[in-house]
A and B are shown apart, each in its own frame.
Chain A
Amino acid sequence: MSQPLMELRDVDKYFGSTEALKKVSMQVEPGKILCLLGDNGAGKSTLIKVLSGYHQPTSGKLMFEGKPTRFATPREARQRGIATVHQDVGSIPLMSVGRNFFLGAEPVKGRWPFRSIDTRLANEVAVDQMQKFGLTRVTSGDQLVGTMSGGERQVLAIGRAMYFGAKMLILDEPTSALGVKEAAMVLKMMRIARQNGAGIVFITHNARHAMSVGDTFVVLIQGEVAASFNRGEKSREEVLNLMAGGEDMSELEEDLEQID
């Protein structure tokens, strides 16, 4: 087995006396998609924040590329190649695709004081990168991001992170606000990113989306890893039951049917 990109060993996280994470252990491997499943309030957000450097573990170990690591800031984590793409994506609607793509790392041409953004290059690279990740509808880098759909913005954000050398992608509910087609587009993109060798942490509460792309699965309940398994080891029903905290979802569904 290859060396994990990131590994947590018995990580605890306390806020005051509240224990948000209890002895969490997990491994993110390059070229694999780890699905982090859990109901609301299960500790997913806290875990993401530990992975992306916003929070430091109270105790336990965080290993990055085989070495014990402590990220002082999210910025440091980002510089080491950990990119977090949030649900709201963080793009700027009234700016063009090219300008959004290179925000904070703009390519320039010419000499000061006539140095300017190389808009043509920025637009070409941005469109090219999105097409690589399966988004073919956007053909002009001058298009405003506000005209793009939610899924397309996810593709832009993920493509951007990959272009700037992210080794690990943390995708926070990238499909949950999307329609069926849009979600399929984002899932397809995750597969392409995996082929390119990225280690992906896919946070979701949609078991169907998770099962369609996941290589390994971690189910979180009340801050604890309730289950951790590989692709094909559990059925969708079992996963759903786990996420619901051990209650039998099929029974719940039967209850619901009786109401009608």
Chain B
Amino acid sequence: MKRPEAGAFAAFLITYLFFALATPGTGFVSVNGTAGWLNLAAELGIVAIPVGLLMISGEFDLSIGSTVGAASMILALGTNQYDLPIWPMVLLALAVGALIGLANGLAVVKTKLPSFIVTLATNFIVIGATMGVSRLIANVTSSSIVASDSAKFVFAARWGQANISILWWLLVAYIGYRVLSRSVFGNWIYATGGNLDAARGAGVPVQRVKISLFIATGLAAALVGILQGVQWNSGNATYGMGFVFQAPIVVVIGGVLLTGGYGSVTGIVLGTALFGVISSGIFYTGWNTDWIQLFLGLLLAAAVLANNYVRRLALSSK
């Protein structure tokens, strides 16, 4: 009961069983139904993991949404407007994502301003710049993408109903797990978020930890922009805006403390899976999908309370 992911695991199980029992014979539990909710969770999951690690280190990143859109527009303008091959554009999109992360990280550690505000500003700056530049170059804010077969396979392959983004999600989750739970850097992430002064006192390069994680969120957001762009054959500056709050929400549902210092990748994955199950499950019940937001809001409120409780449990002896 003391592990950070305990609450998310229970919530996932209950929600899954609820939808499984409430929608008999509709195919929610079938292979295709499972692929459906995994698809919904995968792209969010890819950004949620570095966002979660960043939150454990004590910082927020709300600029992920616009980075997704910017990455997709880089592919669109490059391949469509300038007839460039897609792979260099993929690298460019990732580089821009990393650069946005670096800028966020530097701004946060140098100004010591709350990252909530700094990255909120970045979010608007990036989406504004993406739209403005797109207009200047092509007089559009969305455009189609010309992808090679290899790129289509790597970013948009489908087996039955399942997207390759599910595999990307698993890969990012595995890397996130190795980093957070096993590596020295992971120890530094917990320490930076748990007690900044003590971490610094022990020789942990806290600024480098934070900047690295900001870069990781930028990279992950760019990857999602590439996945979405190639999958839908188009780029759009507004792609990914939904992630801005969905990512921190599933991270908190996954048991990460808002104050930092506590959480796990397993929890974040479960929180994201829960989001997928709800979004897709509601559809199977035949209810109006407007209810999803209500569900998420209630879950978030419950999760914040539960996390506080789990934290106290963890700190009580025995």
A interface residues, Cβ below 8 angstroms from B = 75, 90-95, 99, 102-106, 108, 113-117, 144, 146-148
Contact = CB atoms under 8 A, between A and B. Distances in A.
Contacts of A92: 190-191, 194-195, 198-199, 261
B272 to A, nearest CB: 23
B114 to A, nearest CB: 21
Main secondary structure of the interface of B (DSSP, over half): helix
Interface in B195-227: 195, 197-199, 201-204
Contact of A144 (B178, B186, B191, B315): B315
A93 B315 contact: yes
Interface in B78-133: none
Contacts, number: 73
B199 A117 contact: no
Contacts of B190: 92, 94-95, 99
Given A94-B261, A95-B190, A115-B183, A146 B201 contact: no
A144 B153 CA distance: 46
B314 interface: yes
B316 A103 contact: no
Given A94-B314, A147-B317, 10 more contacts: A92-B195, A93-B315, A95-B187, A99-B191, A103-B188, A103-B202, A105-B202, A106-B184, A117-B182, A117-B186
Contacts of B197: 90
Contacts of A115: 183-184
30 contacts: A75-B203, A90-B197, A90-B201, A90-B202, A91-B195, A92-B191, A92-B198, A92-B199, A93-B195, A93-B315, A94-B257, A94-B261, A94-B314, A94-B315, A95-B187, A95-B194, A95-B261, A99-B190, A103-B191, A104-B199, A104-B202, A108-B184, A113-B178, A115-B184, A116-B182, A117-B182, A117-B183, A146-B315, A147-B318, A148-B317
Main secondary structure of the interface of A (DSSP, over half): loop
A91 B315 contact: no
Contacts of A117: 182-184, 186-187
Interface string B234-274: 00000000000000000000000100011000000000000
Interface of B: 178, 182-184, 186-188, 190-191, 194-195, 197-199, 201-204, 257, 261-262, 311, 314-318
A115 B178 CA distance: 9
